[in-house]
Structure 1
Amino acid sequence: MTVCVLLLFMPAAWADTLQRIQQGETVTIGVANEIPYGYLDEKGTVTGEAPEIAKVILQQLGTESVEVVITEFGALIPGLKAGRFDLIAAGMYITPKRCRQIQFSNPTYAIGEGFLVPTGNPKKLHGYDDIKANSVKLGVMAGAVEYGYARDFGIGLQKLVTLPDYPSGVAALKAGRVDALAGTSLTMAQLAQKDTRVELAQPFTPLVIDGQSVKGFGGFGFRKKDHTLSQAFNQQLTTYIGTEAHLALIEPFGFGRHTLPGTATAEALCKAD
């Protein structure tokens, strides 16, 4: 009922995407090939924390017909704005900079940072301070927040190697083109499980920038014009996150009660600058 009332008072162009969903039409989601947030598994099936949650919420909104576009992480926001897909389901961190370009749902998880290093961690890299203090190269994914973290931490450009995705990052690490690969601790741990030549750097020094502990909060992204879709999606998401069904869905990907976002909201995170 609430959604129907909203549609009556919103411009038709704003309501198009939600109306298509409610009519059961196919919805297209944008996913970056990043474990465990959204990725292609060994069978070629798209899975991960974000796509699986998206399927549940979209079903609640009226459709089970979902198509997936796999793209580089840095192309997700441009692709969404260009209409290549209807929403981003890639566990994307909610940041003020991104909020200026797209809308976000409330977060579905909160997570810290980590490094992937060669097995044995030969250069003893346990945090961003080690990168800053030594003559080493740090791999970061194009469009991801780790590039900004490194720059804000004071790491020079000459130490950063930008890569299109994490498979490319693992290859660069094994080839010796980078000495560590930066990402969320969940992603790094998942990648480490798949290759004995790399491992999660442990212990890892928690990242602190300007006196603030860095923790990422991930959510779903929508076009600015799709306000009714984001509002309806968020309403369903709010009642789902933290339920036993939600926890059972995300635990195979390494998430759980320990990664729940608490009371954080997209509104507050978008104003975090």
Structure 2
Amino acid sequence: MKKRFYLLTIFLLLLLSACGTSPSSSEESKGNTSLSTLEKAKKEGSITIGFANEKPFAYQDENGKLTGEAVEVARAVLKNLGINEMKGVLTEFGSLIPGLNAKRFDMITAGMYITPERCEEVIFANPEYTLGAALGVKANNPLNLKSYEDIKSNPNAKVGVMAGAIEHNYLKDSGIPEKQISIVPDIPSAISALLSGRVDAVTMTGPSLEAMLESANSKEIVRVKDFEQPIINGNPIQGYGASAFRKEDTEFRDAFNAELQKLKESGELLKIIEPFGFTENELPGETTADELCK
């Protein structure tokens, strides 16, 4: 009897001990998984971003540092939020939104234009810049291409555009058939296509094209200085770029917007984007993501 009582006592003590520690362990586990993206980033002091290696928006410089207009704006905002480290995941532009939603990274800093279609898949911060389109051609512009209309009217002309870029929509909306459009994955591919004659022009934003010309370091490629902005639905096209977040991360987006607004009001935003070829003319004014998503 004594032996049975002794064993029963030990069993009860072990049971009580287990009951005392389980809730704590469970609560700790629950606490970790319930942190929002912003809370987790603040706690860890770092965040993972997706970028597409496209100058001047987001790229790695010769020293391997992640930089660019979108990166430096995000870096300033995140620092003010207490997040000091940014880890980059290089991704093809067209795979950025799928990668974000698959949680390969926690935000996109790639100078991505805000469009109603993209707003169906992600939420955007308010814009940090605004830009039109630009056209790059071989020196002397052999086909005399000065607009999307010129490309449309010449069935032999082919134009290159990066995968997932908004300019692809502009080309289609301008009535240029798909057989005249060549999709390229990145800027080096655009340079190669133009130099080899696979395309007669490439289109992208002005700063991206300037970065391409710098990268090509060739007198064989030039920017069309008198390029006419395409007219879509009666209006000259104008793109607005911003950081993007997963749909559930509204807290993060709102906190980002609050700090971004401070940079705009203080004049700091212009100082951040100027080194990347942006001017006061490229500031977005008071345009909001909500307006652009409609």
Relative to the length of structure 1, the TM-score reads 0.91
Higher helix share: 2
User: Matched residue of 2:175: which SS?
Assistant: coil
Q: 5 Å matches for 1:1-273?
A: 16-134=36-154, 135-194=156-215, 195-196=217-218, 197-241=220-264, 243-271=266-294
After alignment, is 159-168 or 22-31 more displaced? 22-31
Q: CA deviation at 1:243?
A: 3.2
Q: Detail structure 1 runs of 4+ shifted over 6 Å in the superposition.
A: none
Q: CA RMSD, aligned part only?
A: 1.5
TM-score scaled by length of structure 2: 0.85
> Does the Cα contact within 8 Å between 1:21 and 1:58 map onto a contact in 2?
no
Cα gap change, 1:14 to 1:228, in 2 (>3 Å): farther
Q: Which has the higher contact order (CA 8 A, sep 6+)?
A: 1
Following TM superposition, by how much is the alpha carbon of 1:23 offset from its aligned partner in structure 2, in angstroms?
A: 1.4
- AA at the equivalent of 2:48: T
In the aligned structure 2, how far is the partner of 1:74 from the partner of 1:121?
29
Paired AA for residue 44 in structure 1 = G
Per-residue CA deviations over 1:20-74 (Å, capped at 9, x if unaligned) read: 1221332001111111111122222221100011111111111112100111100
Deviation at 1:222, TM superposition (A): 0.1
Provide the secondary structure at the position in 1 that maps to 2:36: helix
Instruction: Give me the whole-angstrom Cα distance separating, in 2, the residues matched to 1:247 and 1:182.
Output: 25
Letter in 1 for 2:132: G
Q: Once the 2 structures are TM-superposed, how far is the Cα of residue 202 of structure 1 from its aligned partner?
A: 1.6
How far is 1:84 from its partner? 0.6
Find the aligned partners of 1:243 and 1:132 in 2 and give their Cα distance.
44
CA distance in 1, matches of 2:65, 2:292: 32
SS in 2 for 1:262: coil
1:181–1:13 Cα change, 3 Å? farther
**Matched positions, count:** 260
Q: Is the 8 A contact 1:30 1:71 kept in 2?
A: yes
In structure 2, the gaps of 5 or more residues are 1-31
Asked whether the equivalents of residues 116 and 198 of structure 1 are also in contact (C-alpha less than 8 Å), the reply is yes
**CA distance, structure 1, for counterparts of residue 126 and residue 105 of structure 2:** 20
